[in-house]
Each structure stands twice: as C-alpha cells, then as structure tokens.
C-alpha cells in the first residue's frame, strides 16, 4: 500500500504579507514553498512595485502582461487580495486577516502602519499569538530608524562594497540585491523560531529585522579580520583576504576559479602545472607564506595556466583533487548537468494556462517536501475567495 503523501512542514500556517519589492516578499515566498498559506495584501492601484520592474515581462496566453519577471522571482505560491489601507474598510479587512493568522510580515517605514491601526501593539490585542515581523532599512530604533532603506545604499553603508571590486577600481555592489535577500532569509529563520515559541506558550512576538544589521553581520571573516587586527580590509578583486591562491586565474581561452584551501591542494596544483619546486619553496609552501607573497604566487601560476585551455585544466584539476571551477553565465548555469539533475528550474501553470518558469527553493526535506502548487498571483486574483473564507471562519466562531 502506498504511504499517504506527507504535507509540507508549514501546512496549516497562515501568513499575511504586507510587504513589497524584495526582502519581505522573499521571506513570504520561502514560507509559501514550505506550505504556508501566504496572503499577499496589495494596493489595488498597481500592486507590488515589482510588477512594473521590467522588461522582461511575462506574457499571458493572449499576449497580456502578467507582470515583470522580477515580480515572479519572489511571489510564487501566494494568494493576492487587493486592499486599500487608506480606507476604514481596507483596515478592517487586514485586522480580520490578522485575527486569523499566525504570522504577519510588513516592510513599511517606521510607524507607517500605526496611522491605520495595523501596528504590532494594535494587532496583538486582536491576536496575542501573532508573530509580527517588521522589515526596515535600519530597525525600530537608532538615529536612522525613520529613514527608508534601500539595498544598494545598505551594501555601501555596511562595508560590503569596501571589500568588493578591484583594488584600484570603484567599490562594487553585488550583482543581485543581497541585503534584501539575506534579510528575507534571516527573517524566515526568526519567524520559525518565534513560531516554535508561540506553539509552546501561546505567545506571539514582534520581530525587528533591519537590512543594515543583516548586511553588516554577514561580512563574517572580514568583520573578524578587522576586529582582531584593527586594520580595515580592502578590496582584493577576486582574491581572498586569508587564503592564497583563491582567485580567478586566466587560461588560454578565458578564466577559471582556483580555490586552494590547504597546502596539500597547493602541492597537487603545482604538480599538475609542472612546477613542483614552487610548492617546496619556503616562500610558498604554507598558506601564511603564500598570502604574504600572493603577487608572486599569482605570477608563477598564470605563466603556466596560460598554456592550458579551460576544459583541459579543469579536467586535470578534477583528476588530482585540486578545487577548481568554471565561471558560468546564467544560461550556462541552467544548462549545467548538476543543476539539471537537481531540478532547480520549475515550471508552474497560471490560471490562463500560461507556463511561468521559476527556480525552486534550495531547501530539500526528506519527510515533508516543499510544495510548488501555483505561480505568482495576478493583482487581487484571490480577493473574493479570501473574503469568503473570512466570512465563513467568523460565522463558524459566532
């Protein structure tokens, strides 16, 4: 007999998403993938800003605009209700939703929901178990608390851009909005911790997530390098501040990545390149020595790697347990045999039959697999459905 199909881990959990753009919606999408019923509350006048952040736009079966690709990258699996928060009717709808919810995510500026009676202190009176997650640029206190937060600006303020880019070039941001994405991921971690607490005690709580806090915290070893040495780390291009050679290396037909993490790997690399004597030279034999002589190490290596093609050198490195890899375009990434085998790309069917591509969550659970049941909703697609559910729930409690 076939075993009954297990539900995703957050089945039965309801989330109200009063968030737009990326950090909040990214958290909401992660919760939706794990089975939560995520209700996205959108302004009837255009909805989430990212619906218009194109091109490219997803086209429907009849050529209609189904919102920008950006919007679809972070709103899968949700239901959309169109609500005007400026009206008493709209505020009442959100209060009713909050009464039925386990979690609320919002990314309004500090105090932005107070005037609507939708701030934490107000909603906790309606639902003491509510987990209320606020995502802002700078948190609920401090001198910057009232300022709007933008991923790009936070990447600069956090110190991230000071360690990213070529040594003599401009400080560089990341190629995606990592302050927003990291904040969304940290928010989900905090939400799940608060959810366990609520299930044990019946007590909800307020979660204060700030982009600057998150982006500063994820500098990891660069933070500790500074705190221990009192020397602020600088930009090294593609090189690593603590390991050598751990960088992009040119070959005859492009570039590859070398990620040499220990002395044994360096000896094997030198053997592959036919420069075994380099590995026994005291200037290069240890990682500490190689970091001190990183320019010389690079010069010695590239004089040899220039004789190799990408394919040949990567193959030789693989055969000799030398960590190395290609630098793929996004197209090459999706075509990579490992990415294909893991099923990273998913295709979901919209209500009109349009197939909308996406990328599954990297979370794989053996006993409670994640669910990908629907693509991103159209604006207000589920308004009537959600309101009918609310009426039914309230009638059943009466």
Q: Catalytic amino acids?
A: 180
- A 10 A CB-CB count for 34 gives 23
Q: How many other CB atoms are there within 10 angstroms of residue 92's CB atom?
A: 12
Q: Are 126 and 97 in contact (CB under 8 A)?
A: no
> With left for phi above 0 and alpha for psi between -120 and 50, is residue 68 left, alpha or beta?
beta
Q: Enter the tokens of residue 40.
A: 């996205």
Closest CA to 77 of 5, 15, 6: 15
As given in the structure block, the two tokens for residue 223 are 């933070």
On whether the CB atoms of residues 82 and 43 are closer than 8 A, the answer is: yes
Give residue for tokens 């990408």: 310
Triad 181, 187, 193: Cα angle to 5°: 145
165 is written with which tokens? Answer: 């880019």
**Cα-based distances in Å from 172 to 210, 242, 315:** 21, 20, 32
Q: Which residues of 21-33 are buried (b: 16+ CB within 10 A; e: fewer)?
A: bbbbbbbbbbbbb
The string of DSSP codes covering 310-342 is HHHHHHHHHHTT--EE----HHHHHH-HHHHHH
Cis status, amide bond into 315, omega within 30 of 0:
no
- Listed in sequence order, the residues at least 6 apart from 230 whose beta carbon sits closer than 8 Å to its beta carbon are none
């Amino acid at each position: 007999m076939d075993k009954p199909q297990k539900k995703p881990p957050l089945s039965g959990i309801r989330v109200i998403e009063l968030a737009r753009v990326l950090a909040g919606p990214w958290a909401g999408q992660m919760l939706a993938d794990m089975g939560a019923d995520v209700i996205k509350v959108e302004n009837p006048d255009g909805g989430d800003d990212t619906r218009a952040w194109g091109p490219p736009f997803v086209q429907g079966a009849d050529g209609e605009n189904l919102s920008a690709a950006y919007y679809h990258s972070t709103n899968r699996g949700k239901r959309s209700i169109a609500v005007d928060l400026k009206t008493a009717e709209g505020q009442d709808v959100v209060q009713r939703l909050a009464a039925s919810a386990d979690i609320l995510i919002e990314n309004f500026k500090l105090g932005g929901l107070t005037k609507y009676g939708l701030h934490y202190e107000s909603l906790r009176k309606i639902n003491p178990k509510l987990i209320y997650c606020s995502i802002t640029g700078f948190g609920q206190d401090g001198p910057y608390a009232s300022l709007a937060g933008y991923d790009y600006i936070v990447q600069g303020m956090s110190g991230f851009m000071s360690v990213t880019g070529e040594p003599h070039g401009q400080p560089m941001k990341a190629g995606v909005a990592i302050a927003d994405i990291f904040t969304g991921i940290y928010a989900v971690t905090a939400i799940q911790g608060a959810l366990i607490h609520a299930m044990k005690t019946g007590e909800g709580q307020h979660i204060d997530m700030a982009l600057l806090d998150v982006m500063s915290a994820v500098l990891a070893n660069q933070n500790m390098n500074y705190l221990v040495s009192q020397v602020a780390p600088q930009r090294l291009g593609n090189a690593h501040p603590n390991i050598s050679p751990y960088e992009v290396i040119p070959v005859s037909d492009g570039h590859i990545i070398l990620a040499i993490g220990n002395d044994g790997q360096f000896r094997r690399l030198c053997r592959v390149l036919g420069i075994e004597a380099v590995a026994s030279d005291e200037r290069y034999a240890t990682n500490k020595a190689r970091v001190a002589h990183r320019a010389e190490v690079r010069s010695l290596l590239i004089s040899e790697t220039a004789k190799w093609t990408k394919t040949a050198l990567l193959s030789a490195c693989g055969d000799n347990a030398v960590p190395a890899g290609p630098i793929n375009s996004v197209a090459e990434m999706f075509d990579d045999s490992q990415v294909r085998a893991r099923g990273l790309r998913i295709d979901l069917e919209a209500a009109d039959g349009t197939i909308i591509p996406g990328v599954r969550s990297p979370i794989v659970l053996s006993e409670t697999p994640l669910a990908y049941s629907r693509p991103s909703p159209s604006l207000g697609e589920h308004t009537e459905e959600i309101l009918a559910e609310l009426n039914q729930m309230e009638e059943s409690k009466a």
